């Protein structure tokens, strides 16, 4: 993969640091993390939902934090034994800790989160302030010029 150097743009622009950091991050692999699997869906015009498969985790073992357009979901299970007198022969249900980050667009807020049947659902809503919404500008007709009936002659 090619690496693009944005240093010349850093010198000639002001206020685009976040954009350049995001572009720099696109070229770097995330370490191949695929756990836990997730879906992102649009549930309305300005509503979204992230669904994560977190089987085996309880509400107390998962933390969700939204800070500066980054949504971070962390999960950490307490060590549990297989039970008295039993021995675990095969572990197919993942119990490792995870941290998954999502970059949120401007004005996207977390509405709520639910854990049901091993799926963590995080509901998001985009709330655009009125001053940032497009507004229609009415066009008014130009006032008609007064007609000049007689010109004053100057001799």
Which domains are delineated in the chain?
A: 1-29 (no CATH), 37-79+90-129 (2.60.40.790)
H or E segment to which residue 11 belongs = helix 7-12
| Predicted pLDDT at 105 | 86
113, pLDDT greater than 80: yes
What percentage of the chain carries pLDDT values higher than 90? 30
Q: How confident is the model at residue 135 (pLDDT cuts 50, 70, 90)?
A: confident
pLDDT tens profile 6-40: 666 655 666 666 666 666 666 555 555 678 899 99
Length of the chain: 155
Q: How confident is the model at residue 151 (pLDDT cuts 50, 70, 90)?
A: low
CA pseudo-torsion sign 38, 39, 40, 43: negative
Phi-psi region for residue 142, left (φ > 0), alpha (ψ -120 to 50) or beta? beta
Q: 104 is written with which tokens?
A: 């949120």
In Å, the largest CA–CA distance within the chain is 124
Integer Cα distance of 96 and 99 in angstroms: 10
At 124 the three-state DSSP class reads: strand
Is the separation of the CB atoms in 110 and 64 below 8 Å? yes
64 closest CA partner among 13, 106, 115, 26:
115
| Predicted pLDDT at 107 | 86
């Amino acid at each position: 993969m090619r690496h693009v150097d944005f240093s010349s743009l850093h010198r000639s622009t002001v206020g685009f640091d976040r954009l350049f950091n995001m572009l720099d991050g696109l070229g770097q692999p995330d370490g191949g993390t695929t756990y836990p699997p997730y879906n992102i869906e649009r549930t309305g015009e300005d509503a979204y939902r992230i669904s994560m498969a977190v089987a085996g985790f309880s509400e107390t073992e998962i933390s969700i934090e939204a800070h500066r357009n980054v949504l971070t979901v962390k999960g950490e299970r307490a060590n549990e034994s297989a039970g008295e007198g039993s021995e675990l022969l095969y572990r197919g249900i993942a119990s490792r800790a995870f941290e998954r980050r999502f970059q949120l667009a401007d004005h996207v807020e977390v509405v709520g989160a639910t854990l049901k049947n091993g799926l963590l659902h995080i509901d998001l809503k985009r709330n655009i302030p009125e001053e940032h919404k497009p507004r229609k500008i009415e066009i008014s007709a130009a006032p008609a010029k007064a007609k000049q009936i007689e010109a004053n002659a100057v001799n």
